[in-house]
Amino acid sequence: MGSKLVLSALSLFIFSTSHAKPIEFTVMSYNVENLFDTLHDEGKADYAYLPLTVKRSMPSAMEYCRNERIPPYRAQCFNQDWNEDVLNTKIQNIAEVIKAYDKGQRPDILVVQEVENLNVLNMLNEQGGLGYQTVVLLEGDDQRGIDVGILSKYPLAGEPKIHYIDKSRKIKTRGILEARFHIQDKVVAVFANHWPSQSNPDELRSLAAKKLLEVLPKAKADVRIAAGDFNTNKNDNPHGINETLLKPKRGLYFVETNPELKDGQPSGSHWYQGKWEFLDRMFIDSKSAGNAEIDFSVHVKPFMLMDRILRDRRGNETVHQVPNRFNADESRGYSDHLPIVSYFKIK
C-alpha cells in the first residue's frame, strides 16, 4: 500500500512539473534622457538641471559651469531653467510613452537609464500615473549623478544590489543593478545596464561585459534578463557584446532577444550622425533561451518622432523621422532614445 502511495505521489509530481504553466511577461528598456529632480544632490554635478534661481545663488554651480569646456554644455549649464514646471512636463511626457505600450497596459518590468535618484523615479511612477508595485534604484558612482532603475508589477525576491565595473579607476562609472522578482512560481533576475559612453575607451565597455558575465551565474534565479543602454557600436574593439556576452562558453552566456525586426520598425533605437543604431539591447541567459518564445520590438508611436532634414554635399535634402528629444526651453519632446521591448513566454 505504501509503495502505491509513493508511486502515485511521484507520478503526480512528474505530471505537474511537465505540465507547469509557462510564465509570460514583458520587459521594456528606455533611456529617458536626463530625468533629474530640481534639487542639488551633494557630490554630484547636476548643476545644469537646477532652477535658475537656485544655481545662480550657488557659487559651486557657477564655478562648475565656467569650467565646462564644451560650449553647448556650458551654455546649457548657465542658462537652462530646470524648474518644477519643466520637470512635470518631462515626467508626463515620459509616462505618455510608457503608457502607450500595449494599449495602456504598460510593460510588466521597466528598466530605465539616466534617472538621477530614487526621488525622481518615484515621481515618474506616481505623478506619471504608472502605478508600478516595485521601484528599485541604488545610487551609483556616476559623477553626473545619473543612475539606472527598475520598475515592476512583481514583488522583489530579495535585496537588490549593484555590481561595480572597476572601483579602482579615478573616473567612476555606473554599476550594473541587479534585482530579482517573483513571477508565478519562478524567480526572474533583471540586470539593468548603462555602460560607459562612446567617449570612453572600448576597453571600459569590455570590462562591463566581463562583469555582467561574471555575475550572471551567481544570480539565484530561474531566468536572467539583461537590458539597458550598452553604448556599444559595431566598431568597438574589443567588442564587449560580441566577444564576451554572446560567446558560447561551458557555463551560462547571453542570447540576444532581437534576431529580426518587424516590418516598418526603425532600424535602431537611437539616431546619431544621420544613422540609426542599437545602443539599447536586451539579452536572456542561454539556459532559459532554449525554453523561451521571444518577441522583440522597438516601441514607437508617431508622437515620439520628429522630422529631421539632412543635406548632402550637393545640397540634396532628405527628411528622416528621428526621436523627438526633450527640449527644456520649449517644454516639449520625450527622449533621444526609443524604448525597446521583449515579450517572454518561458516554460
What confidence category does residue 313 fall into, taking pLDDT thresholds of 50, 70 and 90? confident
Q: In angstroms, what CA-CA distances link 62 with 35, 79, 302, 339?
A: 21, 11, 39, 35
Q: What is the rounded CA–CA span in Å between residue 236 and residue 32? A: 24
Q: What average pLDDT does the segment 298-312 reach? A: 92
Alpha-carbon distance 260 to 297, whole Å?
9
pLDDT at residue 10 greater than cutoff 60: no
Domains and CATH numbers, the chain: 21-37+103-346 (3.60.10.10)
Measured in residues, the chain has a length of 347
What type of residue sits at position 83?
N
**Res. 4: pLDDT tops 90:** no
- Torsion sign, CA atoms 127, 280, 258, 151: negative
Whether a cis peptide bond, with omega within 30° of 0, leads into 238 is yes
pLDDT band at 13 (very low <50, low <70, confident <90, very high): very low
Adjacent-strand bridge partners of 180: 189
Query: Considering the chain, what percentage of its residues have pLDDT values greater than 70?
Result: 91
- Give the pLDDT of residue 7: 47
**Burial environment of residue 63 by CB neighbours within 10 A (0 to 12, 13 to 18, 19 or more):** exposed
At 278 the pLDDT is 94
**What average pLDDT does the segment 82-96 reach?**
98
Q: What whole-number percentage of the chain has pLDDT above 90?
A: 79
H or E segment and range at residue 108: none
* 341: CB partners within 8 A, 6+ apart: 26, 27, 28, 29, 101, 107, 296, 297, 298, 299
Note whether 81 and 328 are within 8 A (CB).
yes
pLDDT band at 15 (very low <50, low <70, confident <90, very high): very low
**Per-residue pLDDT averaged across 91-104, rounded?**
97
pLDDT digits (tens, 9 = 90+) for 165-208: 986 666 677 899 999 999 999 999 999 999 999 989 999 999 99
C-beta of residue 29 within 8 angstroms of C-beta of residue 340: yes
The pLDDT of 10-21, averaged and rounded, is 55
**CB-count burial class (<10 Å; 0-12, 13-18, 19+) for 195:** buried
pLDDT tens digit sequence for 135-168: 999 998 888 889 999 999 999 999 999 999 986 6
pLDDT at 3 over 60: no
Q: Is residue 5 scored above 60 in pLDDT?
A: no
Backbone torsions φ then ψ of 102, nearest 5 degrees: 55, 45
